[in-house]
Amino acid sequence: MKEILDTILNSETQGADFAALPLPDSYRAITLHRDEEHMFDGLAPRDRDPRKSLHLDEVPVPEPAWGEAVIAVMASAVNYNTVWSSIFSPVSTFAFLRRYGKLSQLTSRHDLPYHIVGSDLAGVVLKTGPGVNIWKPGEEVVAHCLSVELESADGHNDTMLDPEQRIWGFETNFGGLAELALVKTNQLMPKPKHLTWEEAATPGLVNSTAFRQLVSHNGAGMRQGDNVLIWGASGGLGAYATQYALAGGAIPVCVVSSPAKAELCRSLGAELIIDRSAEGYKFWKDERTQDPKEWKRFGARIRELTGGEDVDIVFEHPGRETFGASVYVTRRGGTVVTCASTSGFMHEYDNRYLWMSLKRIIGSHFANYREAWQANRLISKGMIHPTMSKVYPLEEASQAACDVHQNLHHGKVGVLCLSPYEGLGVRDHELRDKHLAEINRFRNV
C-alpha cells in the first residue's frame, strides 16, 4: 500500500507507472460483521451506536471484473446511508448483499460475512477489468454511487429505473470507506481539480441526489423565482438544495435547528430562514395525532417571510415528523419532492389538502449517471461548492458516523483513507484561490 501511496504522491508519476503497480493482497476497510447484524435488536434506532458495529478490518483485495475498476481511495465521506447500515435499520444491509449475491456468479462476490460500507470516494484508478476503454490507471476520479446492471429494457430511459438498481457501498459491497474500492467504471467522474481529496470526496452522493430531486425534470424541475422550502437546509442534502435554489434563481426558505445553522444558510446567500427549534414547532401532539394548528402556524410564518406567498416546492427528507406540514404548506398546484424518511417512513398527511389544491408528491432517489455527471460538473466549474465541516481519519470513521447519527455535524464530514493528511490533491490553484472562501465556508463552524 505504501508503494501505491508513494506513486500517487509523486508528481512525476505517469499512467504507465500506475498500470505496472501490483495490487496488494489486502487493505484496510470500515466493515460491518454479519454475525453482529442482530446486536441492536430491541433498541430504538436513535439508541443504536455506530461505534459498536463499525470495525476497521484488513480484508482481501477483489479482482476487477468486466466493466469494473479498483480505485486507490484517498478520501471518502460519511453519508446517512452508512448510519442506517451501522444501526442495522430499517433492515440489515446483509439482506441486500444476500439478494445481490444470488443474481450471478460475479455478484456472488458481494455476499460476504463482512460489508465494506461507504458511498463516496475521491481517488486514483489503479486497475481496470476487461471491457473498460475510457478510464485508465492513474486517472484522478470521484465515484457516484449508482450501481446498475441494465439487462432489462426498463432502465434505458433513466438508469434509476433499472430493476437491478443499487446504491454502491450500501446495497453492494467493497464501498468507499476503505483504502481501496471496487466500482463499476460507469460510476467514475473526473475529480474536480481545484479541490483537495477530502473536499472532492464529500459532495458526490448528496450533491447528485439534491440535483435530481430539485433541479432535474425527473424531480421537482425547479424554475426561476420558485419559493423552495428546504428542510435541514445546512445538512448533507439541504446545503446543496440551498445552493441549487440560489444558483437557479429560486428563493430558498431554509429550515434549520440552531442559530449556527441559520448563519450558515445566511452565508450561503439565503435570506428567508426558520429556526424550527427556536420557534418550537410541534407537528405531532403525541405519537399518533398531528396538530393542524401547528401546520397553520408554520404556513403563516412562511408567508410572513415570503411576503404572503406559499412555497412552490418542498424539499422533503425528514419524513414522518414533517410530512403533514409539508403537504399543507405547499402552494396550490405545487410539489412535495421526497427522497427519505429520517424520522420515520410511515407518513401521514391530510389528503384533502393534496387533491383539492392539486398538489403533487414526487418520489426521488439518488441520480442517474448523467445527473450525477451534471452535478459534478457544477462542482468542477466552481459554481456549487463542497460543504465539508470536519475531517476524520479512517480509524475514527465510526465516530464520524455516530456524530452524523446524533445530528452534531454541519454540511458533510470527510474521512481520510490513503491520504496521509488534509490539503493534498489540488491541481488547479487558480480556480481554488478564486473560490477559497466558499470552499471553506463550513469549516470549523
Ligand X SMILES: NC(=O)c1ccc[n+]([C@@H]2O[C@H](COP(=O)([O-])OP(=O)(O)OC[C@H]3O[C@@H](n4cnc5c(N)ncnc54)[C@H](OP(=O)(O)O)[C@@H]3O)[C@@H](O)[C@H]2O)c1
Q: Which residues bind ligand X (CB under 6 A)?
A: 79-81, 205-206, 209, 231-232, 234-238, 255-257, 261, 276, 317-318, 321-322, 339-340, 342-343, 365-366, 404, 407
Q: What pairs with residue 124 in β-bridges?
A: 72, 140
Smallest gap from Cβ 203 to ligand X, in A, equals 11
Report, in Å, the least distance between residue 341 CB and ligand X.
7
Q: N- to C-terminal Cα distance for the chain?
A: 34
Identity of the residue, 7 or 119, whose beta carbon is nearer to ligand X in the bound complex: 119
Chain-centroid distance of CA 416 in Å reads: 17
Question: Quick one: 51 or 193, whose CB is closer to ligand X?
Answer: 51
Distance, CA of 260 to CA of 411 (rounded, Å) = 12
Give residue 91's identity as a one-letter amino acid code: V
Distance CA 166, CA 159 (A): 11
Using CA atoms, how far residue 182 sits from 2, 139, 230, 414, in Å, is 19, 15, 34, 19
Report which secondary-structure segment, H or E, holds 39. Answer: none
Q: How far is the CB of 256 from ligand X (least distance, A)?
A: 4
In this complex, which beta carbon is closest to ligand X, that of residue 141 or of residue 262? 262
Minimal distance, residue 193 CB to ligand X, in Å: 25
H-assigned helices in 272-422 = 276-279, 292-306, 320-329, 351-355, 369-380, 397-405
Q: In terms of CB distance, is 26 or 343 closer to ligand X? A: 343
Least CB distance to ligand X at residue 338 (A): 9
Please list the residues that pair with 72 across neighbouring strands.
124, 180
Q: Which one-letter DSSP state was computed for residue 46?
A: G
Give whichever of 237 and 388 is closer to ligand X, judged by the CB atom: 237
Please identify, using beta-carbon distances, which residue of 311 and 340 lies nearer to ligand X.
340
The phi, psi pair for 206, rounded to 5°, reads -75, -35
- Which residue lies nearer to ligand X by CB, 18 or 349? 349
Whichever of 120 and 139 has its CB closer to ligand X, that residue is 120
All 3 cell numbers of residue 101?
449475491
Calpha distance 61→54 (Å, rounded): 19
State in angstroms the smallest separation of the CB of 347 from ligand X. 12
Measured distance CA(363)–CA(391) in Å, rounded: 32
Q: How far is the CB of 73 from ligand X (least distance, A)?
A: 20
SS3 call for 289: strand
Least separation in angstroms between CB 233 and ligand X? 7
User: What does residue 387 show for φ and ψ, rounded to 5 degrees?
Assistant: -125, 35
Residue type, 444: N
232/334 with CB nearer ligand X: 232
Planar angle of CA 434, 142, 90, nearest 5 degrees: 120
Residue 164: how many other CB atoms lie within 10 Å = 16
Decide whether 27 or 349 has the Cβ nearer to ligand X: 349
Backbone angles phi, psi at 397, to 5 degrees: -60, -35
Least CB distance to ligand X at residue 27 (A)? 26
Q: How far is the CB of 296 from ligand X (least distance, A)?
A: 18
Cβ contact 77:415 at 8 Å: yes
The residues near 10 (Cβ < 8 Å, ≥ 6 apart) are none
